[in-house]
Structure 1
Amino acid sequence: MISSKSTQSLPASSFTKQLNEAVYHSLNFEDRQDFEDAQRGLIAPFDFNIFKSDTGEVLWDTDIVEFLRDSAPETVNPSLWRNSQLQSISGLFQVVDGVYQVRGLSISTTVLIEGKNGLIVCDTLKSIESAKAALELYYKHRPKKQVTAIIVSQSHVDHFGGIQAVLEYAENPNIPIIVPQHFTKEAISENVLLGSIMKRRGQYQFGHVLPPGPRGTVCVGIGTIQTNGITTFEMPNVEIENEIQTLDIDGLTFKFLLTPDTEAPAEMHFYCEDYKVLYASENVNKTMHQIYTVRGAKTRDAIQWVSAIEKTIDLVENKEMDALVMAHAWPVWGKENATQHLKLQRDLYKYMHDQTVRLANHGYTMEEIAETIQLPETLNQYWGNRGYYGTLKHNVKGIYNFYLGYYSGHPSDLDPLPQVEAGKKYVQYMGGAAHVIQQAKTDYKNGEYRWVAQVLKHVVMADPDNMEAKHLLADTFEQLGYQAESANWRNMYLVGAMELRNGVNKEVPAYDSSAVFNKVSVDDFLKLLAVKLNGPKANGKKMTVNVTITDTNEEFVLYLENSVLSHKMDVLDDNPDISLHVDKFTLYGMGNGRLAPAQALADRKLEISGEQNKWNEFLSLLDSFNPLVNIVTP
């Protein structure tokens, strides 16, 4: 990790100090209810300062959040500082007698529900190390009963990545693993086609390349500073298929509510009758979430999200409710408080949706709507709706794009020049780089950081070796990061500043998703190969490849023609150029460039009939994606 000295070097400017000071006067910092709730029910803090992987890698050090005990520094938005302090409150907590929550070991939380015979684990954190640490902490303070069931509430990796560790505590390997409909497909395919660029953009969003501290990362908005570890996956064996479905799990009655196409494409909530506890997964949080996630993903359906919260309110309308539990926050106790929180979250997303659509129908563009829309005070003043993760501006743009796409309607936006070419022309029109930088320095001194960032981007794209422009843009990003209430925006600005000053950190360990990726279906993997095909290199090539997957007894035929790769399932061609007999993981290794065909042949994991050189020729047409592509420079 690059030291803080080399990444963020400047203090807060007078404009940043003034803006952050104004936050104290715009929000009620005297309201300490969230702190009382976040500390309520604490049974035990973590019994370690550092925990490591089996290889000795430090995965979490509790001391790195000690700086949050101080009052807000000038380099952090006070509202974000407050959120970071709340997210850093960690340990084992009792929600109600029989229901427990572990917070602070991952971006998400895990909920432990005591059944009649054992322990039901809801959401297993992101890594096996975090999941194991959570269970060991629980067992030190509660009866050491075996895990009898696992509930995974949705398809994002921070909800299931530690599942294999949890299964080690199970009474047998065939315990129920209960998931929402279409979970498996969504869980293992979300990042297949665009996994490389999503992970790179995720480095900016989550800021794990930044040093923790007042001039670095302070949290991720919906959780504490991101932890590391090995991500795993296990096939579920119980799928909730009905919108409302009741199950008996280890002697307890659970009423499930499917909420598809919301924060996750496969998601569900549940109400536990015996403990009078509602679990709302990630559709309800103690922050504004992301309708459009800035690391890159399909824009979520805001109306579906609103409907899911409304149906959740209806689910418990005539039931007792002692606590509302969420995947990324501390609980809310009491039915009145919980219902009020649900309604404020529902209305937050509905207001953003309805007002964006209203203004779009008035002819306002995406940028104009984002610049002018304001939440009503009843929604804006509520701490649980503040934009620590999503922001009003980028969510509004996401909603606009969901319906109308990126195009503003103005003909000049139909076919604009790309950023490098546009940068060169802008700089030329503005009188050259030196002239632009001089004016930008004046605007920087006047605190016009948004404009300076917008202008200097053109200079850097036109001349990436212009160190004066890069350092001034880095300084500008830094001040914008210091001002941001959203942890995402702060992290992205500060990572941008770091990379402008120091270049891309090539020593950042690659995110190991192999345990999940290996569960990808062959059909999905072949779709990835089609995306990796370099069209110009494939020009004029024609090839038919039969593939028999030996360990799953599947058959496919691949057709390369017109610089397009397509495939069919459950069929083989009568006249292939080559035929492969290969196991699934060997095929994946060759397709991803990790395994040479010659080695696979030598290991007897691959049999080729027909023109053997054709397979090498085919593989040579596939691109390898650079996991550390440039973002703030060309």
Structure 2
Amino acid sequence: MHRLTALLLAASIASTAAAQDAASEATRAAQADIAARLALDDPRDMANATRGKIAEIADGVIVARDGRVIWDRRPYAFLNSATAPDTVNPSLWRQARLNAVHGLFEVVPGHIWQLRGYDLSVMTVIRGRSGWIIVDPLLSEEAAAASWKLFSDTVEVKDGKRPIKAILFSHSHSDHFGGVGGIVTPEQVAREKIRIIAPHGFSEEATSENILAGNAMSRRALYMFGSILPPGPQGQVDTGLGPRLSAGTIGYMEPTETVPATDATLSIDGLAFEFLDAGGTEAPSEFVFYVPAFKALHTTEVVTRNLHNVLTLRGAQVRDALRWSKVIDAALLKWGGKAEVALASHHWPTWGADEVSELLANQRDAYRYVHDRALFHANRGATLHEIAEATAEAPVQSRDFSTRGYYGTLNHDLKAVYQRYFGWWDGNPATFNPIPPEKSAPKYVALAGGADKLLAAGRAAIAAGDYRWAAELLGKLVFAEPDNTAARDALASAYDQIGYQAESGAWRNYYLAAAATLRGNAVAAGTDNGRSRSFVRAIPTEVFFDALATRFDAEKGAALTGTFQFILPDSKEAVAVVVGGGVEFPRFGVTDAAPTATVTIDRATLDDIMLGAAQFPALMQAGKIRIDGDRMAFLTWFALHPTADPAFNIVVP
């Protein structure tokens, strides 16, 4: 079935969608098992998560100037109960309750504060000699502005107004820099000489990571973060890494300086900051740092209160678990025994020199375990799925909640390590060139003796509590017959139970969002993030044209040849796009001697197009685009770049 037909079908069944299932007996047994294995009533994490709280935003509600709700913790009041419902893994429930604690916290009295619970990430404020040093100003400008106001209204009212002297972007993911415009303006940065400090390679990584594959990543992120689920015990409760994504505007400012790959010490507003390069771990561009004056170690997103993703469910390049473990060990060797508090870009701090060293050692061991066990089994012939099935939890995971799979999972991380070294293929020729699911599914249905028999087998697996097998069977039937509502409902039931049992917030969200999609009752995306002009302006022109090339319809444009020269007067850039044989190749910085057509367009006008603020035909009529040469050839080429579908199907064909 074509995707459009499937989308229309989903809309048509929304009003009669089956109700979400309650927890089954098998799920209740699984929840009881993990509750019995773990010391879920250990009070130390909650004591740390609430320690030093001095203020909060009323009800946890942040509203933009135009009235849009950016952040609202009121629908999560169900987390006030200490007892997990049957529909939530009790270990994930514990993590969600810890992440739900929101407010302004004093970490090092009089010197370091954190704003937690107002975005997926955490913002840190450090008192320098004469002003404030801000670390990671959240994802959205609105969330950052509200958090900064809370800090100013609480701390500055008592201690006096001080200027912002520096802003640190710890790494290249947007939930750690996107809110900067809510705290300072570019004019303020220039006028007051505010330092914006980032790790080396930051600018390229921050503005390009999600551009080439951004449409697919964004679509999958809706599932991973539970953005199409309502909050509730049968819906979105947490992501594991933090509550959820704020729904505001993502901005950008160019760093004024970067920290080199070699270990470096910088003086920032009179304080010494010791940096350790962590690029290639959780992010391509990243650092951790230590402030000796306060014996405070900021572990960024290299060490958080969970096992992280070696390969995120939304999609990204596979991360290096081996380097990850070595960077943590380097931090342990460098600052272990010295640091008396460890704080990060997510979650809550750890206090005490011994406790900090233990945290680092345990996190190091978790990532090393993932790496070494994957290769141990792979070098004995195991495939990625066999590795994940055969590997038990690391010993450390049973005694340290910070290493549990609340976001990344041992299962998925092991597969990611395999993929990093060997690729997606398991080496078996039977799986080297498989038939695509939409073509193979009808064959499986026929082999099973028809849809009714396959549906019955799937339902029997559900009744037996064998939900993974049920999902495999019913997934074939749904791909063969997408309009089979009984099959969709049964598959959704299997996904419900797998989601309920998941300890990972990301896994739970993905399964439950898939179930909601099958039933046709997924809610409108809970995040409405938009990239600001500052973010779009920062995207390198070269990356923009590389992304444009990924949209070229090679099948329809196989016979087209030519060179289309772009001249961008305002940015003084040139790009020659060479087309032929179904391939579009941009040559950045090149001026072709005899182009098929020359297009003169300001880079600022390209930004308008990327932002959706202007359409190409209207710009041509307005004279903002000049085309010299073979105008028809250019228009033919331009028409061969259809927009990607932002709502493409994931759980149905």
43-52 or 162-171: bigger deviation: 162-171
Distance in structure 2 (CA, Å) of the matches to 1:539 and 1:84: 52
User: CA contact under 8 A between 1:148 and 1:171: conserved in structure 2?
Assistant: no
Q: What SS does structure 2 have at the residue aligned with 1:560?
A: strand
Distance in structure 2 (CA, Å) of the matches to 1:110 and 1:4: 42
Distance in structure 2 (CA, Å) of the matches to 1:76 and 1:273: 41
Letter in 2 for 1:153: S
Map 1:113-512; keep pairs closer than 5 Å: 113-143=126-156, 144-168=161-185, 172=191, 174-317=193-336, 320-502=338-520, 511-512=529-530
Q: 2:647 matched to which residue of 1?
A: 628
Deviation, 1:508, is: 6.8
Size of the aligned set, in residue pairs, is 632
Decide which of 605, 612, 622 is 1:586's aligned counterpart.
605
Decide which of 73, 79, 86 is 1:62's aligned counterpart.
73
Distance in structure 1 (CA, Å) of the matches to 2:584 and 2:531: 25
User: CA contact under 8 A between 1:4 and 1:216: conserved in structure 2?
Assistant: no
Q: What SS does structure 2 have at the residue aligned with 1:283?
A: coil
Deviation, 1:380, is: 2.9
Cα shift readout 1:217-262 (whole Å, capped 9, x = no counterpart): 0001110133211110011111011421111111111111111111
Q: What SS does structure 2 have at the residue aligned with 1:141?
A: helix
Deviation, 1:379, is: 3.3
Letter in 2 for 1:473: L
Map 1:548-559; keep pairs closer than 5 Å: 548-559=567-578
User: CA contact under 8 A between 2:228 and 2:522: conserved in structure 1?
Assistant: no
User: CA contact under 8 A between 2:38 and 2:398: conserved in structure 1?
Assistant: no
User: CA contact under 8 A between 1:592 and 1:624: conserved in structure 2?
Assistant: no
Letter in 1 for 2:141: I
Deviation, 1:46, is: 1.9
User: CA contact under 8 A between 2:536 and 2:607: conserved in structure 1?
Assistant: no
CA RMSD of aligned residues (A): 2.0
Cα shift readout 1:14-51 (whole Å, capped 9, x = no counterpart): 11111111111110123111011101111112235422
Decide which of 14, 18, 27 is 2:38's aligned counterpart.
27
Deviation, 1:171, is: 9.0
1:95 equivalenced with 2:112 (yes/no)? no
Map 1:35-54; keep pairs closer than 5 Å: 35-54=46-65
194-203 or 585-594: bigger deviation: 585-594
76-85 or 144-153: bigger deviation: 144-153
Give the alignment's TM-score, normalised by structure 2.
0.94
1:568 equivalenced with 2:587 (yes/no)? yes
Structure 1 unaligned spans of 5+: none
Letter in 2 for 1:124: P
Deviation, 1:514, is: 4.4
Q: 1:10 matched to which residue of 2?
A: 21
Distance in structure 1 (CA, Å) of the matches to 2:557 and 2:214: 23
User: CA contact under 8 A between 1:53 and 1:129: conserved in structure 2?
Assistant: yes
Decide which of 636, 649, 652 is 1:617's aligned counterpart.
636
Give the alignment's TM-score, normalised by structure 1.
0.96
Q: 1:21 to 1:48 in 2, by over 3 A?
A: closer
User: CA contact under 8 A between 2:211 and 2:547: conserved in structure 1?
Assistant: yes
Cα shift readout 1:390-412 (whole Å, capped 9, x = no counterpart): 11111110001110111111110
Q: 1:422 to 1:558 in 2, by over 3 A?
A: same
Letter in 1 for 2:397: L
User: CA contact under 8 A between 1:80 and 1:487: conserved in structure 2?
Assistant: yes
Decide which of 511, 514, 531 is 1:513's aligned counterpart.
531
Distance in structure 1 (CA, Å) of the matches to 2:267 and 2:17: 56
Deviation, 1:611, is: 1.9
4-13 or 522-531: bigger deviation: 4-13
Decide which of 585, 603, 606 is 2:622's aligned counterpart.
603
Letter in 2 for 1:152: F
Deviation, 1:173, is: 5.2
User: CA contact under 8 A between 2:134 and 2:167: conserved in structure 1?
Assistant: yes
Structure 2 unaligned spans of 5+: 1-10
Distance in structure 1 (CA, Å) of the matches to 2:466 and 2:412: 20
Q: 1:48 to 1:286 in 2, by over 3 A?
A: same
User: CA contact under 8 A between 2:228 and 2:524: conserved in structure 1?
Assistant: no
Decide which of 101, 104, 111 is 2:124's aligned counterpart.
111
Deviation, 1:129, is: 0.7
Deviation, 1:513, is: 2.2
381-390 or 161-170: bigger deviation: 161-170
Deviation, 1:175, is: 0.9
146-155 or 514-523: bigger deviation: 514-523
Deviation, 1:438, is: 0.9
User: CA contact under 8 A between 2:120 and 2:245: conserved in structure 1?
Assistant: yes
User: CA contact under 8 A between 1:577 and 1:614: conserved in structure 2?
Assistant: yes
Q: 1:113 to 1:622 in 2, by over 3 A?
A: same
